[in-house]
Structure 1
Amino acid sequence: MASPSTPQGTLRQRNVGISTKKTKDGASSDVELDKLVKAAAAKSSANSERDFKAVFVVITALAFLTRFWGISHPNEVVFDEVHFGKFASYYLEKTYFFDVHPPFGKLLFAFMGWLVGYDGRFHFENIGDSYIVNKVPYVAYRSLPAILGALTVSVTYLIMWESGYSLPACVIAAGLILLDNAHIGQTRLILLDATLVFAMACSLLCYIKFYKLRHEAFSRKWWKWLILTGFALSCDISTKYVGLFAFITIGSAVIIDLWDLLDVKRPGGALSLPEFGKHFAARAFGLIIMPFLFYLFWFQVHFSILTRSGPGDDFMTPEFQETLSDNVMLANSYTINYYDTIVLKHKETKAFLHSHADRYPLRYDDGRVSSQGQQVTGYPFNDTNNHWQILPADADDQKLDRHVLNHDLVRLRHLVTDTILLSHDVASPYYPTNQEFTTASIADAYGERAADTLFEVRIEHGKQGQEFKSVSSHFKLIHNPSKVAMWTHPKPLPEWAHKQQEINGNKQIAPSSNVWLIEDIPSLPADDKRREKQERKVKSLPFLRKWFELQRSMFWHNNQLTASHPYASLPYQWPFLLRGVSFWTQNDTRQQIYFLGNPLGWWLASSVLAIYAGIILADQFSLRRGIDALDHRSRSRLYNSTGFFFLAWATHYFPFFVMGRQLFLHHYLPAHLASALVTGAIVEFVFSQDNAELEQAHQASKAGKKPAVPKHHLTSRERFAGQSLLPAWIAAAVILAVVAGSWYFFLPLTYGYPGLSVEQVVWRKWLGYDLHFAK
């Protein structure tokens, strides 16, 4: 956990020299030493505070300059601006849309559009569409992530400052973010990652400030920083669900902190169990309950704004869609009667229930035997082979105007081949555990196969006796004898089925992937009384019901993002910056935006992570062998503060290895920020060790003991004050000079201008980056 000391809190950080007055026995004068320490500390504290503030202002100004420089270029839609710009427009038009990410970041973009008086008429349909021609205030939109990206550099600096690190360490950590091409590139466009990374950094800063107040538990400041930590965490997860990793980071630190509070031997004295309970409850309230309430609040705002029917309707249930005005689907919903001809459509894959005269092969590729029955498949286009007639279970029931109701048993007759839909205990082509769907002749369907042709219509969230309707009634077709649900999936069947989708019986009835709807009723006459529509009133649903429904849909569709992408990458590639993402190109000028980090900065930070792990292992090994190579303060800082940064990196990186969805380089940005913090801390650890020895010597001198270092270290004020941080400053200068050179070299790919010649592009293909215009 981060050290509570401030940069002025120790001799090592104050950089003050102390000359001691010797007595006859060689011991230091305690009174004289105390006076010198207090006077030097007061003077050095003021100077140091001024230095930190001055550098903070300079770094913040540079951060704004690098983020806003040329932000109006290019003046056309770039990469995923097609999504998040479009969502902002939908908010401004109050039109319902669906996205796999929570609403907070998109609401901020909509707020920027509202501030400048934009009406949202442009929908960002295609990459390359002109902002100028369509009169879009795109610079205002891009200013939001640019501001947050610049402030992220400032917050990184403050994290190091609040954690008690020296000025060189603060400059290195903030400089690695300031001069990183990936952070700059991602914060100059209408994308969500600037909000995500800023909220993540704020959560670390707020928690460090909260932790430093642990000796003032339950004070006003203590509560303030606890609540602000929870708010930052909420903003993080309310932007993207990967914000959950910040909860893991802070949660792990809180667990360690609570475990220490349980220790009866803790320096501050043992806590009673009721007192410990208060600490636990306060943290649970501030870091779990409050963030969850903030998280719900953004969804409430989301639902309150989006009141009109829009492109997101299809992702929601009919009950939800009835809460939206101008809903076309509900306006075209008709009650289904027995003997109607219907077209069934799978909700998720949009495939139609289809059949044709071709039959299943005798054997599949794996050697299993089929029924050789008529093929029943999923087909992406609507034609007459998708027409089915819905029949009552009782063959003698000839009432034409009787409505189909929820939980009715029905049969489906395929009109073109005059056969009846059937499922039976034969394995499907791709799923040996699922049942095959085929058809039976009319004679068999009402004879020996009668039971196998019965299906239950089970409307989602439907009531007993509810009317079955086209379009609006989302339902599952349950095979009555075996209780399997009719299901399909995107993987196409072989050539013998014309590469259409497999239809089979899924034994797991609960998943939403079993849901179908009636797309059309081709047999419905134009003058049928069912076409007479009464004016519909917009209904309402409880907030939590709408929220739960949207959450289920968001999680499901997020997990379905598994398709390949030409610029997708794997987590092991990110720390080494093995590939980037092409955002935008312009052939005429040979300009391009290629999302890529600063290679030298990333490789340095990744190397330092390995160095940190090596230092910890070496220290542990030495301790096991009875060798104590570090002073208490250095080890405490190494394990607690630097360890907290390393924990933040690990929790924002390793979970991606178990994800099955598409992944891109931008997913590493929060982890990269944490690696920059580790880098600053390790540079101080490596290049400022003399200070630790000097401080140890002074403490020994003050106690009247023999100094642990040569005496000239104790009496040389110039060496202690002037040279203590010199190695760290030299290291910082070298690191930032190298990183700045790499940053400048790749700037044309980050800012999108100027255009590069073939030779210049080839020079930048360091690891074979798939850049454009390399020929």
Structure 2
Amino acid sequence: MPSRSRAARRAEPEHKHKPKSHSVEKDEKKPIEELEVDSKRLSEIDPSQQKTYSKYCTFMTILAAAVRFCFIWYPSEVVFDEVHFGKFASYYLQRTYFFDLHPPFAKLLIAFVAYLSGYDGKFKFDDIGDSYLTHSVPYIPMRALSAVFGTFTVTLVFNIMKESGYSVLTCIFTSALIALDNAHVGETRLILLDATLIFFVAASIYCYIRFYKQRKQPFSRDWYLWLFLTGLSLSSVISTKYVGVFTYASIGIAVVYDLWQILDVKRGNTLRNFAKHFTARLMLLVVIPFCVYLFWFWVHFTVLSKSGPGDNFMTPEFQETLGDSVLAKEAKDVHYHDVITIKHKDTECLLHSHLYNYPLRYEDGRISSQGQQVTCVNDFNDTNNYWEILPSDMSPQSINKTSPVREGDSFRLRHVKTNGYLLTHDVASPFYPTNEEFTVVPAQMLNQSNNMNDTVFKFDPVDKRPGNVLKSKASFVKIRHVPTVVAMWTHNDKLLPSWGFNQQEVNGNKEIKDASNIWYVDSIIGLTGARALYLPKQVKKLPFLRKWIELQGEMFKQNNELSSEHPYASEPQDWPMCLSGVSFWTKNDSRQQIFFVGNIPCWWLECVCMSCFLAIVALDLVTRRRGVYMLNERARKRVYMNISFFFAAWACHYFPFFLMGRQRFLHHYLPAHLLAALLSGAIIEFLFTNNRTAEFTGDRKSIGKISVYKYRAVIVALLAAVVWGFVFFAPITYGNVSLSVEEVKKRQWMNMKLHFTK
């Protein structure tokens, strides 16, 4: 037969050059493809295979629970952002209004668990390191909520891979990437929101896959059920944190693609049928989830019915909808020339002075100033606790003013009983040679020595809102000495000896930022007139949607203003390879610390797998342009319908962070990391599956089959690396092990800022 010319061959349609194996493949048994899987596939699996999946899913769930509940009681102190989310639970239980950047769903769950545990909400989680045991806080049940969500996230990951048609071994490996990841474990065993967020991200993916598998039975009961559950999961994500919009975008891409296929007239769909599909998705993925989202805000406003620390963020009209809390009833505006008592927040002791002086020498031989003692005493009625607050300006025009005292003001304190002024100076305190001694000096002596400036103090507001009127019981401040820049401080670690009547020492702490420097005005003595009267606040009503719109605007405004620097903030380009971490908690005296970092071998493996995926796609697209068909059609569906879906979801959860100007931290990557794990499990099985066309493999029977022994060997090796990585970083995940400097240095990874304590 004569050969054809090159021009004739070029003129032939491209499909004539496709390998004949493609026509044969249609008769071969199809493997399950995610988003292209037969809805009856699970019923076709023999009972023994079903039992195998269930057995290993149960095993992975138990493993996930074990590593998350292990040492969940340690430390029995406030850790990292438990400062915020534990505090919010307390506000819910006391029904006092607060402001936060995140929607209320997950915070309400934490408060509900605390309520079931009998917690009264009095502890306010003010500082990292505050003891739970001392204040009888049921922190273990509150942490257990996160651990439960983290555990069942692993269950969902296993079943996502199962429903996507992957082997049992792939399901085990993929779920292990989450179950034994140090970052996920660390984040899902504390009182935080991310466990709830990540669980519902996984639930959204799982429910949508189950819904899509019903596409051949549209508008059936199961079809509606899984579509509704997808919308409910999406609503829960965005009701936890607003980054849930990234999950909406991920599912939205799949929904748009699905609707585009339904719109194709070649599939026999009418416009009426398309409209029905569109309406069902609109109602169950948008309208109903939005109503659920609004419902949680309605609960939020209903529970928080009393005035609280969030009032100042809202308009006067909004504040008028809040009733007075117990604190608001007792809080009074402090004015200059008021006689007040001042209480230390941590020890709840009152600032005190009396007509006794410090000894000439302390027990260690150091010499004191022999000035009048300033101490702290337990809460009892004693006129030696009375202090008059005066303006810092002693001129005749200012000294008599009776205007309100504001946070941030400079002032003086006169001890009423002895008629002297409080000051601190460069003399060592009784117990702390590096801290300054506090004393009271008579006014006459100060005038003679021209040292009146040494009596000037300043209120540093803890809430960072200088200018607010100082209120008794409600305003927490640090009392800073202006000339020497030290903060007034007391402690009950050690009491003064008999010469100090076993009272607490008061001194000047050079560590201004120390959280134990906080004081507040406990009472105003002899208050009379209008300020002494309690006038019940008239509570007004405001439409729910108006309150919601106002709160949304303030939430977005405050979120955009989170641009200040933080020592553990990081950039998104550092996240996939886990080049940095976050310090959650440290205990220097025992050389223990909790540091948020991922399982490094896993994170690097995921980066390699994503690179392999992009290389496969690029190679396939280029070779097909040249008429070379290396991948069979079923393998291409696996790549473009399933693995590409995981990749698109990962991109939706990762790349938007590059556009944000606010503070960003490694834990923001955890939802994207979950999707990277799904992609990694999928691509590893793909690499060990015969995905070539019959033209390249020469053996049609092996197409679509896994190289079992090679695949098992690789998975076992990778699982060993996963276990090693988890165990290696476990001491800084749980924080229950004292590490030497050498042991800490071994775990120092890239830009991690671990604490070294000799």
Query: Which TM-score bucket, shorter chain as reference?
Result: 0.5 to 0.7
Instruction: Using structure 2 for the length normalisation, give the TM-score.
Output: 0.67
Rate the CA distance shift 1:222–1:530 in 2: closer, same or farther, 3 A: same
Is 1:301 the counterpart of 2:295 in the alignment? no
Per-residue deviation at 1:539? 1.3
* Corresponding residue for residue 564 of structure 1: 565
Distance 2:277 2:242 in 1: 28
Is 1:104 the counterpart of 2:105 in the alignment? yes
- 1:90-137 per-residue CA deviation (whole Å, 9 max, x = no partner) reads 111111111011000100100101111211111111111111111110
* Corresponding residue for residue 158 of structure 1: 159
Q: Map 1:265-276 to 2 at 5 A.
A: 265=266, 269-276=267-274
- 1:355-378 per-residue CA deviation (whole Å, 9 max, x = no partner) reads xxxxxxxxxxxxxxxxxxxxxxxx
Provide the secondary structure at the position in 2 that maps to 1:98: coil
* Corresponding residue for residue 709 of structure 2: 726
Per-residue deviation at 1:171? 1.6
Distance 1:82 1:190 in 2: 9
- 1:43-65 per-residue CA deviation (whole Å, 9 max, x = no partner) reads 96333212111110100110100
Distance 2:738 2:562 in 1: 34
* Corresponding residue for residue 772 of structure 1: 755
Distance 1:577 1:10 in 2: 43
* Corresponding residue for residue 542 of structure 1: 543
Rate the CA distance shift 1:333–1:114 in 2: closer, same or farther, 3 A: closer
Per-residue deviation at 1:534? 6.1
* Corresponding residue for residue 315 of structure 1: 313
- Aligned AA for 1:108? L
8 Å CA contact 1:86, 1:125 repeated in 2: yes
* Corresponding residue for residue 137 of structure 1: 138
Distance 1:672 1:595 in 2: 14
Is 1:219 the counterpart of 2:220 in the alignment? yes
Match of 1:709 among 677, 680, 698: 698
Provide the secondary structure at the position in 2 that maps to 1:215: coil
8 Å CA contact 2:237, 2:244 repeated in 1: yes
Distance 1:94 1:166 in 2: 50
Rate the CA distance shift 1:560–1:656 in 2: closer, same or farther, 3 A: same
Per-residue deviation at 1:585? 0.6
Rate the CA distance shift 1:531–1:90 in 2: closer, same or farther, 3 A: closer
- Aligned AA for 1:640? M
Distance 2:578 2:624 in 1: 36
* Corresponding residue for residue 459 of structure 1: none
8 Å CA contact 1:762, 1:774 repeated in 2: no
- Aligned AA for 1:116? S
- Aligned AA for 1:223? Y
Provide the secondary structure at the position in 1 that maps to 2:265: coil
Distance 1:535 1:177 in 2: 53
Structure 2, unmatched stretches of 5+, are: 1-26, 33-40, 334-405, 412-467, 470-526
Rate the CA distance shift 1:331–1:556 in 2: closer, same or farther, 3 A: farther
* Corresponding residue for residue 118 of structure 1: 119
Per-residue deviation at 1:75? 0.5
Distance 1:181 1:135 in 2: 29
Deviates more, 1:229-238 or 1:531-540: 531-540
* Corresponding residue for residue 639 of structure 1: 640
Per-residue deviation at 1:653? 0.1
Q: Map 1:143-222 to 2 at 5 A.
A: 143-222=144-223
8 Å CA contact 1:591, 1:753 repeated in 2: yes
8 Å CA contact 2:146, 2:192 repeated in 1: yes
Aligned length: 539
- Aligned AA for 1:754? V
Per-residue deviation at 1:537? 2.4
* Corresponding residue for residue 392 of structure 1: none
Distance 1:757 1:552 in 2: 49
Per-residue deviation at 1:528? 10
8 Å CA contact 1:264, 1:270 repeated in 2: yes
- Aligned AA for 2:740? S
Rate the CA distance shift 1:630–1:773 in 2: closer, same or farther, 3 A: same
- Aligned AA for 2:310? G
- 1:214-247 per-residue CA deviation (whole Å, 9 max, x = no partner) reads 1111111111111111110111011111111000
CA RMSD of aligned residues (A): 3.0
Distance 2:332 2:128 in 1: 36
Deviates more, 1:55-64 or 1:320-329: 320-329
Per-residue deviation at 1:533? 8.4
Rate the CA distance shift 1:557–1:649 in 2: closer, same or farther, 3 A: same
Rate the CA distance shift 1:565–1:534 in 2: closer, same or farther, 3 A: closer
Per-residue deviation at 1:299? 0.3
* Corresponding residue for residue 444 of structure 1: none
Distance 2:305 2:592 in 1: 41
Distance 2:721 2:696 in 1: 39
- Aligned AA for 1:65? A
Per-residue deviation at 1:529? 9.4
Distance 2:42 2:162 in 1: 18
* Corresponding residue for residue 65 of structure 1: 66
- 1:163-182 per-residue CA deviation (whole Å, 9 max, x = no partner) reads 11112221221111011000
Provide the secondary structure at the position in 2 that maps to 1:652: helix
Distance 2:545 2:163 in 1: 40
Distance 1:42 1:98 in 2: 50
* Corresponding residue for residue 756 of structure 1: 739
8 Å CA contact 1:759, 1:774 repeated in 2: no
Provide the secondary structure at the position in 2 that maps to 1:202: helix
* Corresponding residue for residue 426 of structure 1: none
Provide the secondary structure at the position in 2 that maps to 1:653: helix
- 1:123-171 per-residue CA deviation (whole Å, 9 max, x = no partner) reads 1111111111111100000000000001111111111111111122212
